Amino acid sequence: MCGVVGIKSHKPVAAELYESLIQLQHRGQDAAGIITYNQRFHVKKGVGLVRDIFDERNMARLLGNIGIGQTRYPTAGGYGREDAQPVWTGVPYGIAMAHNGNLVNQVECTADLSQTRFRHLNSTVDVEIILHYFADALNKRAATADSPDFFEQLCAAVADVFRHVSGAYSVIATIIGKGMVVFRDPHGIRPLAKGERHNDNGTTDYIFSSETSVYYALGFQHTGDVQPGEIIYLPEEGPQQRRIIEQRDLTPCVFEYVYFSRPDTMMNNVSVYRARLRMGQNLAFRWKNKYPDEQPDIVIPAPSTANTAALSVAQALGVRYSEGLYKNPFIGRTFIMPGQEQRRKSVRYKLVPQELEIRDKKVMIVDDSIVRGTTSREIVKMVREFGAEKVYFVSACPPVKYPCFYGVNIPTRQELIAHQLSDDEIARHMGVDLLLYQRRSDLLEAVTRKGDHGIDHPCMACLDGNYVTGDVDENKMRQFEAQQSTRE
């Protein structure tokens, strides 16, 4: 999972790209980068948090009124600076590109590019594959002048990407002397929002990003989303052009609503905050039906992505909501930390139980999901150690049983506790008195109940094994899991 942003403005964009990446920091803590251009590219990339990579000196070198940025945690490729985005190529024109997503057929595409098109890849990140298909197709059309209209050339280049590349990808690119190009995979798996800012002199600035959280602070108005299979071209001068190249069912990742996105984001015209409230509401109704005689004394969230759902659970059950676990805000998101041992240790560094809220009480812990079970088990142990009479554990997400091929770091079935154990076995492993998962139908209802969203059905591949690109079989899964195991 990554956060990507692009801004085309009538003033220098470096500072606003930086502020945008700060707002997208939760989507990736491994690396970050910014590319801007005026007559040439200006780039700064590094490993670590956004605030540690950029300083006054290197920000001053990022010149230009157009640029893109990305904050990353790796689901493909390595962990070093060379695999930070954006990436770029000099032919044709000079093209820089960043994306959010993950490719299913990365191995096949890499072989095709190197052996058939003789394109050399300088990194192991899959966005470079997209860049080379796009650049190669654009270069051929520019050289032959088959289509003198540049937008038609862009449409043909994106169509070539769609023909060869399978997976999730929301892409922002800049082309020197031309402008900004944005496109989204035909399934719309990863989010890509757009906004506009109208200046006093009558000009308009544009922003594209994984989430809308930064728009208000920068003065942008959210104007919708890039559609599945759509390309939008913002030339340096002149009106924007857009076209849907190839569109299939809109199947956005359901885990964006469950966990990854900030609650103040609008995604596919659905409020993430309201979706999480509805998750909690549906979860409470299910608890009442299944355990009518079991009433907790307090409901506490596993902070902080579960706070919204936990608040709704407490309201629906008619019990007190309590922040019984204090979260140190300076510790990163444990789910996206590499390695089980690091995740386990970081839970106790990050969360401290409040004894007066827990001791001698029946405590219901609400978490957004249970993936590996490492974090959940440690939380339960801490609550027990601080004197809880009983511990109930409820998950706003159904059991996660399958790896994700589209950009969430769920690499192997062997790591997924729900793939290995039954619900009762998981409850015993976690040390809880009662365990309750959300049903898939209730999660679907929570996401799609409100909003003119156009969602045909969210991608729930990690929950039901139904991969929307249709090209994940057992051999592909084993190949992917073997590849991931070498990165641990």
Alpha carbons 62 and 462: distance in angstroms, whole number: 39
9 vs 24, 154, 223, 438, CA distance in Å? 20, 21, 16, 44
Nearest to 4 by CA among 57, 73, 64: 73
Alpha carbons 303 and 368: distance in angstroms, whole number: 9
Nearest to 368 by CA among 360, 380, 376: 376
- Residue 329 contacts residue 352 (beta carbons within 8 Å): no
3-state secondary structure the chain: CEEEEEEECCCCCHHHHHHHHHHCHHHCCCEEEEEEECCCEEEEEEECCHHHHCCHHHHHCCCCCEEEEEEECCCCCCCCHHHCCCEEECCCCCEEEEEEEEECCHHHHHHHHHHCCCCCCCCCCCHHHHHHHHHHHHHHHHHHCCCCCHHHHHHHHHHHHHHHCCEEEEEEEEECCCEEEEEECCCCCCCCEEEEEECCCCCEEEEEECCCCCHHHHCCEEEEECCCCEEEEEECCCCCEEEECCCCCCCCEHHHHHHHCCCCCEECCEEHHHHHHHHHHHHHHHHHHHCCCCCCCEEEECCCCCHHHHHHHHHHHCCEECCCEEECCCCCCHHHCCCHHHHHHHHHHHEEECHHHHCCCEEEEEECCCCCCHHHHHHHHHHHHCCCCEEEEEECCCCCCCCCCCCCCCCCHHHCHHHHCCHHHHHHHHCCCEEEECCHHHHHHHHHCCCCCCCCCCECHHHHCCCCCCCCCHHHHHHHHHHHHCCC
Cis peptide before 86 (omega within 30 of 0): yes
Orientation angle between helical segments 423-430 and 374-385, nearest 10 degrees:
50
C-alpha angle 304/308/314, rounded to 5°? Answer: 115
404 is catalytic: no
Name the active-site residue from 2, 109, 155, 459: 2
**Among positive and negative, which fits the CA dihedral 441, 444, 446, 451?**
negative
- Tell me the catalytic residues: 2
